[in-house]
Structure 1
Amino acid sequence: MDSISQWFTDNQTMLQAFAIQFIVALAILFIGKLIAKLISKGVQKILTHKGVDQTVISFIGSLTYGLLVLVAFIAAISHLGFNTSSLVAIVGAAGLAIGLALQGSLSNFASGILLISFKPFKSGDFVEVAGTAGIVEEVHIFSTQLRTGDNKTVIIPNGSITSGTITNYSRKATRRIDLVIGVSYDADLAKTKEVLTRVVNEHELVLKEPAVTIGVSALADSSVNLVVRPWVKTENYWPVHFALLENIKVELDKAGIEIPYPQLSVHVNQENANES
Structure 2
Amino acid sequence: MNIAENTADTAQQAAHVVQADVQNQVTQSVTTLDQFKEFLLNHGPDVIYAIVIFIVGRYVARGFKNLAVRMMTHANYDHTVITFVSQLIYYAIMALVLLSALNKAGIPTNSFLAAFGAFGLAVGLALQNNLSNFASGLLILIFKPFKAGDWIAVGGVEGSVKGIQMMNTAITTKDNKTIFIPNSIITSSQVTNSSYQEDRYITFFFDIGYQNDHHKAIALLKQVFQEDKRILNADTLEIGIREFAENSVRIAAFPRVAKADYYPVYYDIMSKVKDTFDANGIDIPYPQRVVYVQREGK
TM range (shorter): 0.7 to 0.9
Query: 1:181 offset after TM fit, Å?
Result: 1.0
What SS does the corresponding residue of 1:83 show, helix, strand or coil?
coil
Q: Is the 8 A contact 1:145 1:156 kept in 2?
A: yes
- Contact kept, 8 Å, 1:143 with 1:155, in 2: the verdict is yes
Equivalent of 1:11 in 11, 35, 38:
35
* 8 Å CA contact 1:113, 1:141 repeated in 2: yes
Q: Quote how far apart the aligned CAs of 1:4 are.
A: 1.7
- Rg larger for: 2
Q: Show the 5 A alignment for 1:81-96.
A: 81-96=106-121
Match of 2:12 in 1: none
Q: Which residue of 2 aligns with 1:255?
A: 280
User: Please, which runs of 5 or more residues in structure 2 have no aligned partner?
Assistant: 1-24
Identity %: 35
**Alpha-carbon deviation of 1:204?**
0.9
Which of the numbers 67, 70, 74 marks the counterpart of 2:92? 67
Cα drift, residue 206 of structure 1: 0.8
Shift of 1:82: 1.5
Equivalent position SS for 2:282:
coil
Residue-by-residue CA offset, 1:82-140 (whole Å, 9 max, x unaligned): 12233222212221222122221222233223323332222222212222222223323
Q: In the superposition, relative to structure 1, how do residues 266 and 152 fare at CA in structure 2: closer, same or farther (>3 Å)?
A: closer
CA change 1:138–1:72 in 2 (3 A) is farther
Decide whether the 8 Å contact of 2:202 with 2:257 is kept in 1.
yes
- State the match for 1:127 in structure 2: 152
Partner of 1:232: 257
**Mind listing any 5+ residue stretches in structure 1 that lack a counterpart?**
none
Q: 1:192 matched to which residue of 2?
A: 217
The CA RMSD over aligned residues, in Å, is 3.0
Could you say which structure has the greater relative contact order, defined with CA pairs below 8 angstroms and 6 or more residues apart? 1
AA matched with 2:80: T
User: In 2, are the aligned partners of 1:252 and 1:258 still within 8 Å (CA)?
Assistant: yes
How far apart, in 2, do the equivalents of 1:170 and 1:122 lie? 9
Q: TM-score w.r.t. structure 2 length?
A: 0.79
- Count of aligned pairs between the two proteins: 273
Could you tell me how far apart the structure 2 residues matched to 1:149 and 1:30 are?
A: 54
Tell me which residue corresponds to 1:112.
137
Paired amino acid for 2:181: I
Among 168, 171, 178, the alignment partner of 2:193 is 168
Which residue is 1:77 aligned to?
A: 102
Q: Deviations over 1:177-218 (max 9, x none)?
A: 111111222222121111100001111111127822221223
8 Å Cα contact 2:226/2:234 also seen in 1: no
Q: Which residue of 2 aligns with 1:182?
A: 207
Match of 2:20 in 1: none
Structure 1 pair 193/209, CA: closer, same or farther in 2 (3 Å)?
closer
